[in-house]
Amino acid sequence: MPKKYHITVKPTPPRQYPVGKYTAVEFREDCAGSCKECVKKKCVYGIFKENYQHISSMKEPVYLYACKSCFRCVQECTKGIFSRAINPEYRNLGDEYWTPNIIHSTWYQAHTGNIPVSGAGYRGPFVGKGFDSMWTDMSEIVRPTRDGIHGREYINTCIELSRRPRRLRFHTDLTLVQDVPPILEIPLPILFQQPVVGVLNKNILMSMVKAAHSIGTMVFVQPGNITEKFLPYTKSFIPYLTLKNYKKYTDLVRQCKMVEISYEAGMENDVSAIRDINKDLFISVAVPLKADAPHISLKLAETDIDTIHYYADNHGREIDSKRPRFIKEMIREIHLALVNKSLRQKVNLLFSGGIAMAEHVTKAIICGADGVAIDAPLLIAMECRMCYQCREGLSCPAKLEEVKPGFGSARIINLMGAWRNQILEMLGAMGLREVRRLRGEVGRSLWFEDLEKENFAPIFGERKVS
């Protein structure tokens, strides 16, 4: 029996104390000082144990990074002298899309490799923008044997990056008439890509490459960054090339399993020339996520390329549009365009931009993607604060330039272990045993826009679009 795929995580503490969400406010003059079971000692997460000496002096606030917001200390203090306050520095993390909660949660997962929990529950809005206006079906959650983490059934998270024949033809002796194209599989529907924002140096890139190599996924990277130091990992690289420069990197093309070519109008006839360099090569085409994306997908699907990779902006929005749509709507449109022309099974679809959490991976696949590529979460795993100071030429507060490959790769592996466990839990709750089965299954989801039209539009009328 083949070995079950597993991502081995190992707690990797941060290099510097992270920005915590809460601080404990304690009015010490009312403290009895004689409680045998002080609430700080009873904290089930050991939060105060790590900070006890500092907290006891109370010379300055201590912001509790690993607090789970259960508020047991506040509720059970016999003198009622405990309270909590939000760290103002926490509120300034990230931006409107890469929120403090996303950054803080990513840090925790990269540190521990565990799924994040919150004792106080979710107190945010019922619906939001983008992926937050979409919910997944959990109707099979009552079946614990479906749980891919703890249950008996194996849930497969493998996806293909290779092209597939549209139909199979057989001889009378049941042998295949045509040759079956080679298959390229990765055990996770998540690929890495070189970040377009934030600090990037050889150690940051090596951290990503080593993590990708360890868990069996691949990395999109500019060929100019592949030095001799990276040669042992060439099978994990997907070099980003163009029709003008691919001949310059013929040696690299021969060593890699897959390359990505930037889309140009009329390039369909040039794909075969690239494959002549390496007959076993798998080819992805990089396309900006613009309004003409569905039309381009139909043209490319008729060629012998393997994958189309669409790039949204860093917030998951359509590019070069006055009213940019979010990536989930664009995925759905491209997927259905291929389905309507009976081409969807021939080509794979990858999407990048705005994929910030594990649930975004599952929701993107429900919309019609085969997999996703991520960049910013990898930097956040290495303690990036998404402050964008590096854009202004200012020093990085997280000192990313000092990250060592061993530390960075361990944090990324932990993050992917936590994300995969969340994907397994969602698939198990849907009653699915394979992530490929989820592709395009919108019946496994609820969309706020559709529910609003069905239930409230007949009463209040259509929503005005500003």
Note the pLDDT of residue 1.
46
Note the pLDDT of residue 333.
97
Query: Could you confirm whether domain 159-451 is CATH 3.40.50.720?
Result: no
Note the pLDDT of residue 294.
95
pTM value? 0.90
Query: What confidence tens digit (pLDDT) does each residue in 112-152 have?
Result: 999 987 766 666 778 889 999 999 988 766 555 555 666 66
Residue 288 β-bridge partners = 311
Neighbours of 150 (CB within 10 A): 10
**Residue ranges for the chain with pLDDT beneath 50:** 1, 53-59
Note the pLDDT of residue 390.
84
CB 254 within 8 A of CB 274: no
CA atoms within 13 A on the CB side of 42: 14
Contacts of 376 (CB under 8 A, 6+ apart): 98, 195, 197, 198, 314, 356, 384, 386
Residue 282 β-bridge partners = 258
Note the pLDDT of residue 466.
59
- Domain spanning 22-92, CATH architecture: 2-Layer Sandwich (3.30)
CB 399 within 8 A of CB 382: no
For the chain, which residues make up each domain, given as ranges? 22-92, 159-451
Note the pLDDT of residue 313.
95
Spacing of C-alpha 344 from chain mean position: 23
Euclidean distance between CA atoms 412 and 106, whole angstroms:
10
Note the pLDDT of residue 268.
75
Instruction: List, as one string, the DSSP characters of 326-375.
Output: BHHHHHHHHHHHHHHTT-TTTSEEEEESS--SHHHHHHHHHHT-SEEEES
DSSP 3-state of 85: strand
Orientation angle between helical segments 100-112 and 405-430, nearest 10 degrees: 100
- Give 213's DSSP letter: H
Neighbours of 237 (CB within 10 A): 25
